[in-house]
Structure 1
Amino acid sequence: MNNEYDKNEKEYDVCLLLEGTYPFVSGGVSSWIHNLIKGMPELTFTAICILATSKEKAEYKYEVPDNFVDLKVIYLHDPIDNKKSPFKSISKKNIQKMRKFHYSLDKYDIGFMTEIVDLFREDKYPLSELMHGKKAWDLLVERYKPDMNKESFIDYFWTYRFTHLPIFKMLPLELPKARVYHTISTGYAGLLGVIARVTTGRPLLLTEHGIYVKERKIEISQAEWIYHKKDERFRVDSKLGAIQTFWIRMFEQLGKICYDYSSEIYTLYEGNKQLEILEGADPAKIKIIPNGISLDNFLGLKPEDHDYKGQTEFAIGFVGRVVPIKDVKTFLRACKIVALKVEKFKVYIMGPTEEDEEYYEECLNLVKLLHIEDVIEFTGKVKVTDYLPKLDAIVLTSISEAQPLVIMEANCAGVPAVASDVGSCRELIEGRTVADKALGPSGIVTKVADPIGTGEAILTILQKPVLRKKMSLAGIERVKTFYKESDLNETYLKIYHKYMKMEDLE
């Protein structure tokens, strides 16, 4: 392995590799990163954050700790300079290396990775040559297989450009000098981690909250902007088109590369571990480290001796971005079911609405269609601690989650949860270990996209005060025993110290 370290270059303890998250996006993963950095003031952190384009205004959503310095931002889809470059064109020898690399990836063989990283860093080909050069074009046509491919070449061309330009941008990137590199996903951030591992010899750690490949598969299968050839009968077809498959396969390959080059892999619960194994991760590398929260922020928000009997006015909350993956529409339909049986009923949907404005408008229209305008309030981003004391239940209807902080926060505050059976929601509500399960449920788990089941679960909690009391106490005890943020920080601090002390890996 190459070692690009300059002895005079500033060295950080940990370099975080981030994609579309901290400190520019608020939410679960970003909060986790913020609290991790803040909980280890004795370490110095830097980061590279990957964003889509510089045209979108990127503002800090957090007051970053003093030990988080020198953040570097990469924009994946900014236009490239098409002017002629003084650099020589790609040689036939190096085109052959690229060809071998692509065909190796087709077989999920990543043994050629070191050579391709060295190639890009040594020759430093300009992006204009990689995207517009004659030899690169010939390789693209060869990969398309024009004699047998029935898909549109134009669609293939633009898909190739859109997926590969970020990779070409990152391969020659100069990375900060760090004792440990820690990526919080696979994908493009994971690729940066692989580059760091190859070029510096330092350890690469991977933490996956949600499984990146799985989430991209969901997005790609639902994306209307990705071309999918339809037949003349316009029938519903669950099969993915060739272009969708192209996208998914690329993310699968990036994931496999990151898994193979990571020294250790951390995830939040057993279900995630099994998904990582299916995507090619070595089971021996994977360790489960559940998230934690700061107890001081949530304990006591609702008094443990609160009497629920005789209550006639109720309030529930939904915490999350108003986007399709959170399935807000199922939640709204469930709220209609509850509103038909509970006279005094208020719902707070707490989270940003600007991320997918079209979906937000659809939700507003659904509220009107269901005639629940007086029940529903979209609050935008708020401090959850201001609302938890007046809530009788928290509801999640997501179609994909990892280990949602909102359930832990609600548990800690003594607020029962209703959640779809995704990610670790069942573990958070019903318990993970024998001792955890013995505490009893702190809410109710429902099926995905099930408004009737969700509505009935909410009604069960609201209409059974003795059960709600038991769930409240179980949630408080569960978080106090198994999900303390201080335990999480101590675990990661030990991991960092372990790998920071290692000599360069061979």
Structure 2
Amino acid sequence: MKIALIVEGSYPYVSGGVANWIQMLVSAMPEHEFEIIAISSSRKEASSYKYKLPPNISGIHDVFMMDYLSLEEGKPPRLTKKEAASCLEWFAFQKNSEQSIPCIADSIRLGNPISFMKSEIFWDFLVASYEQEMPNHSFNSYFWTWRSMYLPAIYLLQQSYPIADVYHAVSTGYAGLIATYLRLKHKKPFLLTEHGVYAREREEEILKSVWVDPPFKKRWIAYFYHMSQGAYHTADRTISLYKGTHQIQLELGLQAEKAMIIPNGIDYHRLSVLPRHPGTSGGGIVFGALVRLVPIKDIKTMLYAVRLASHDIPDMRLWIMGPTDEDPDYYQECVALTRNLHLEEIVTFMGKVTIDEYLPKIDALILSSISEGQPLAVLEGMAAGIPWICTEVGSCRELLEGKDEHDVGIAGYVVPPVNPKAMSEAMVKMYSLPDERAYMGQVGRNRVEAYYQIDHFIDAYRQLYDEVVT
């Protein structure tokens, strides 16, 4: 069986999170051939692999979104009136309009993307939408918003893609859009796994952004929800990692009979036997963070919390373990903040490490993210018997406090995101109660053993691949 994994801004060029999940999935299924369709923003972002590719990956099929900037005019559209009307429904965010995506992807019928957007068909539609939507705003800004929204999508759709037995997108967005197209074109099964809710994450980014003019934020947000709903309608199965994401997907229009939950899994047997030698800083405490140095992980809140907690915790250490090259500017901001807060003797940026060497020396772990799905790092720390302090994002509360009445016990503290005071109070509490730390560590280890082992996760996907193909 050949499976095409469709990923956006991730494997094999970015490490951590979803990329680790992909590496585990592919490595555990040597009986299947995988090809990666890697969607990157630019060629610069795809400069080097962060992983040693398993032998059953037959290739990396790269597409670069920003290559649309080099487009020049070409052949005009050759659409029938019915085809034109169908395509325009998709550009208007109409429900169930994803059936027109193969037509949009057809460079013969739709024509060159720039020529299409300059055609009478599209121009009349654009002007009518402008007059209805925001006639009091700049038409020039409206036009360039549409251009920057639709040209990358058309460009991606009109690229060539490998044929596979199964198309498996690991998010909605552009990965889900390509998978929707390939499902409709080749009539091959399409699986969709959402680690977080892509449309919700883009909404949060756009609302906070400065690159989107305020009048156009609503349209950009609607665009990403539109793409997500098209993927939900087209996918044969849509998988979430936990109940929270599952419920949001249903609210966004996913049919219940297509929805399923497959939790993440990690190598429990390797991590659960790691020795425990915490307290290596004498009478103090060692906190750790297994994290990429990127804004969504909100390292700055963690640093402010450390500063507050340091007044009450003698000889405290924080080891921040994870790659620093994904967003070098943010990493340098964190280093500068560490200096400004006079934390150089407390905080160490370790870079990417072999976690098995460091987990035995850590008393407690911290996650300060503002958005997550079901973090593999949290599961890995729990398997090693280490308690956590996590922000209340994604499935973190479920992981630390249990998912139902049969899954009892507390494996750590949950605090609000972007709240240094609450996080520092949890750190002081963790320091003050060593017996509680030991208890929470054992609860976490037991929970991972029961519900989050890699064999459970792999067996579920192996069965699902076989089911959709046969």
Shorter-chain TM-score: what band? over 0.9
TM-score by length of 1: 0.87
Deviates more, 1:311-320 or 1:140-149: 140-149
Among candidates 240, 243, 253, match of residue 267 of structure 1: 240
Counterpart check, 1:155 vs 2:124: no
Among candidates 457, 474, 477, match of residue 443 of structure 2: 474
Quote how far apart the aligned CAs of 1:444 are.
0.9
Counterpart check, 1:342 vs 2:342: no
**Equivalent residue for 2:345?**
374
**Equivalent residue for 1:408?**
379
Distance 1:116 1:308 in 2: 58
- Contact (CA 8 Å) 1:397, 1:449: kept in 2 or not? yes
Change in CA separation of 1:224 and 1:107 when aligned onto 2, cut-off 3 Å: closer
Structural mapping, 1:170-189, within 5 Å: 170-189=156-175
Quote how far apart the aligned CAs of 1:29 are.
0.5
Distance 1:227 1:81 in 2: 24
Structural mapping, 1:44-123, within 5 Å: 44-81=33-70, 83=72, 85=74, 87=75, 89-91=76-78, 93=80, 97-103=83-89, 106=92, 108-110=94-96, 112-118=97-103, 120-121=105-106, 122-123=108-109
**Equivalent residue for 2:304?**
333
Structural mapping, 1:272-311, within 5 Å: 272-303=245-276
Quote how far apart the aligned CAs of 1:97 are.
3.8
**Equivalent residue for 2:22?**
33
Distance 1:84 1:219 in 2: 32
Change in CA separation of 1:66 and 1:354 when aligned onto 2, cut-off 3 Å: closer
Identity, % of aligned pairs?
A: 35
Quote how far apart the aligned CAs of 1:354 are.
3.5
Specify the code of the residue in structure 1 equivalent to 2:420. Answer: P
Report Cα offsets for 1:254-311 as digits up to 9, x if no partner. 00000000111110111111111222211222111110001243122234xx697996
Report Cα offsets for 1:385-423 as digits up to 9, x if no partner. 222111111101111110011111111111110001111
Counterpart check, 1:462 vs 2:431: yes
Deviates more, 1:286-295 or 1:355-364: 355-364
- Contact (CA 8 Å) 1:97, 1:116: kept in 2 or not? no
Distance 1:84 1:400 in 2: 40
Q: How large is the RMSD of aligned CA atoms in angstroms?
A: 2.3
Q: Secondary structure at 1:427's aligned position in 2?
A: helix
Deviates more, 1:320-329 or 1:74-83: 74-83
Specify the code of the residue in structure 1 equivalent to 2:273. Answer: G
- Contact (CA 8 Å) 1:180, 1:500: kept in 2 or not? yes
Quote how far apart the aligned CAs of 1:116 are.
4.4
Q: Secondary structure at 1:27's aligned position in 2?
A: coil
Quote how far apart the aligned CAs of 1:170 are.
2.9
Distance 1:309 1:376 in 2: 15
Structural mapping, 1:448-459, within 5 Å: 448-459=417-428
Specify the code of the residue in structure 1 equivalent to 2:305. Answer: A
Counterpart check, 1:317 vs 2:267: no
Specify the code of the residue in structure 1 equivalent to 2:221. Answer: I
Counterpart check, 1:227 vs 2:213: yes
Structural mapping, 1:137-152, within 5 Å: 137-145=123-131, 148-152=134-138
Change in CA separation of 1:338 and 1:264 when aligned onto 2, cut-off 3 Å: same
Counterpart check, 1:494 vs 2:463: yes
Among candidates 312, 315, 324, match of residue 353 of structure 1: 324
Specify the code of the residue in structure 2 equivalent to 1:213. Answer: A
Q: Secondary structure at 2:29's aligned position in 1?
A: coil
Distance 1:252 1:70 in 2: 31
Q: Secondary structure at 1:355's aligned position in 2?
A: coil
The answer for unaligned runs of 5 or more in structure 2 is none
Q: Secondary structure at 1:348's aligned position in 2?
A: strand
Quote how far apart the aligned CAs of 1:425 are.
0.4
Distance 1:465 1:80 in 2: 57
Specify the code of the residue in structure 1 equivalent to 2:99. Answer: T
Aligned length: 469
Change in CA separation of 1:490 and 1:422 when aligned onto 2, cut-off 3 Å: same
Specify the code of the residue in structure 2 equivalent to 1:71. Answer: I
- Contact (CA 8 Å) 2:61, 2:161: kept in 1 or not? no
Counterpart check, 1:217 vs 2:190: no
Specify the code of the residue in structure 2 equivalent to 1:458. Answer: M
**Equivalent residue for 2:452?**
483
Q: Secondary structure at 2:406's aligned position in 1?
A: helix
Among candidates 357, 378, 385, match of residue 386 of structure 1: 357
Distance 1:494 1:413 in 2: 29
Distance 2:442 2:71 in 1: 63
Distance 2:397 2:263 in 1: 13
Change in CA separation of 1:381 and 1:155 when aligned onto 2, cut-off 3 Å: farther
Deviates more, 1:324-333 or 1:419-428: 324-333
